[in-house]
Chain A
Amino acid sequence: MKTKRELTDILGFVAEYATYQLGSGVHTSRVVRNARRIGEALGVDVRLSSFQKSTILTVLDSETGEAETRVVAIPALPISFERNSDLSALSWDALDEALPLDEIRRRYRALVEKPRMDPIFTLLVVGLANASFCRLFGGDWTAVGIVFTATLVGFAVKQRMTAHGINHFLVFVASAFVASLCATAALRFDCTAEIALATSPLFLVPGVPLINGVIDIVEGHVLIGVSRLVNAMLLVVCIAVGLSATLLMVKDSLL
């Protein structure tokens, strides 16, 4: 049997745990499973219903029938598959080892405070990945080099604008525009310029929201699934706007 205070404590932790995952790119049913598993380890039943910006959580003590409900905002966090995997593993540890709340909280803190990827490392790796896209789509080595540096510029713009808290739709438009503008350098050379231009903003494609949206809809979380897809589609439109601005300027040769 849980006291009111214990229930509130558990609800507070599960709310933080679940919204952290929802904010960092985990699809809804996985978050529900993880949160319920944590609840099971602590002897309560967790019910969760999620929307794009907030989540409604209820923690129910099945022995006494006492319940606590809270509406929690979902924070916007960087996507980290490693962290998501760690947090899922934490829910299994909690269940298998019958961990008390304090221990689960301590391990959770340790996991979320683990070092993140260095922004310069991310920048270089994203540049290499996008240059590889260019090569995969048939770009020659000059185009690959230009896409690499164009991606570095576009992604640096995205990082700086995001750090300044600018609206993410504007960030996507500006980054796509700058990356494709830099890629237009390829037009001056005898190389596969069209491929360089087309692949330069690919690093912005919101793959995780698109995949999560589809998984959510398939698994019955239609509302959040559609919200995620609409959000992802808007980001794709923003990329198209940024790229179109560049294409309009070089329309004589491309459109």
Chain B
Amino acid sequence: METFWKTIAAYNAATWPVQLGLTLVAVVLLYGLYRRPTPAVRVAMKLFMAFLNFWIAGVYYMVYCRPREYHGMLALFWAIMGGIWIYDLCVKHASLERTGRHNAFAPLLLAMPLLYPLCSLALGREFPMMTMPVMPCSVAVFTIGLMLAFSERVNIVLVLFLCHWALIGLSKVYFFGIPEDYLLACSTVPALYIFFREYVRSNAERPTKPSGRVLDVLLIVVCFLVGIFFTFTLLHQFNLFSDI
């Protein structure tokens, strides 16, 4: 637990100007995607996302989180996600054109990386030992927002990688007591349902079984179970606070 926050502090102290720069680039690219989604902007956003993932893998995990156990595995996890963005760019899978859907939910998720530091400050943490915009969970929630707002056809492998990350986040809340990760978990459960539902609907013309309605119910049940797990960790967290 102590190592966890020390590595975060070292990372933030050394990289805050770069994090600030990356946040500004993200804002500019998002503005471009909303206002003038030219092919150049879309390619730039994909390259930026690949860079962000490789940054988390290379700089965050391999340099600053070296004292943590299994940092190499987490670095590889994020490097694979960076590779998926490069693959997406090469095969032109996700178009990154505005879908016009989830106009309230997606911007909220896109703004979430800025809420992370505010949440940390509200919990009484101080710089540099706090969550910042360019950290794994904030990048994950930003990616989910980006895919909700701009991807007609989502890359299901990338979605599942992020889903896996978010559910680990829930376990982190349970075991390490990091309530900031609720932000990611809260956003992932409905986002996961939306992604799967839209994926199923996009394939609705193919004759498959069970029917779309049954699948919808199944997805709701799975998300409900995840929600119960979420509530359980929340209650556990309250116990932790009362113990403290």
Contact = CB atoms under 8 A, between A and B. Distances in A.
Interface of A: 113, 115-121, 124, 142, 145-146, 149-150, 152-153, 156-157, 160, 178, 181-182, 184-185, 187-190, 246, 249-250, 253
24 contacts: A116-B207, A116-B209, A117-B209, A119-B208, A120-B196, A120-B200, A120-B215, A121-B209, A124-B219, A124-B222, A142-B174, A145-B171, A146-B171, A149-B160, A149-B163, A149-B168, A152-B163, A153-B161, A178-B80, A181-B77, A181-B80, A185-B73, A187-B69, A189-B171
Contacts of A160: 156-157
Interface residues of B, number: 31
A120 B157 contact: no
Given A121-B218, A146-B168, A250 B73 contact: yes
Contacts of B219: 124
A152 to B, nearest CB: 5
A181 B76 contact: yes
Contacts of A178: 80
A124 B226 CA distance: 13
A185 B168 contact: yes
Query: Main SS of the interface on chain B?
Result: helix
Contacts of A117: 208-209
A187 B168 CA distance: 11
B93 to A, nearest CB: 10
B199 A187 contact: no
B70 interface: yes
Given A150-B164, A156-B157, A182-B164, A189 B175 contact: yes
Contact of A188 (B69, B160, B207): B69
A124 B196 CA distance: 11
Contacts of B174: 142
Contact of B199 (A120, A142, A253): A120
Contacts of A119: 203, 208
Interface in B103-128: none
Contact of A118 (B80, B164, B203, B222): B203
Contacts of A142: 171, 174
B167 interface: yes
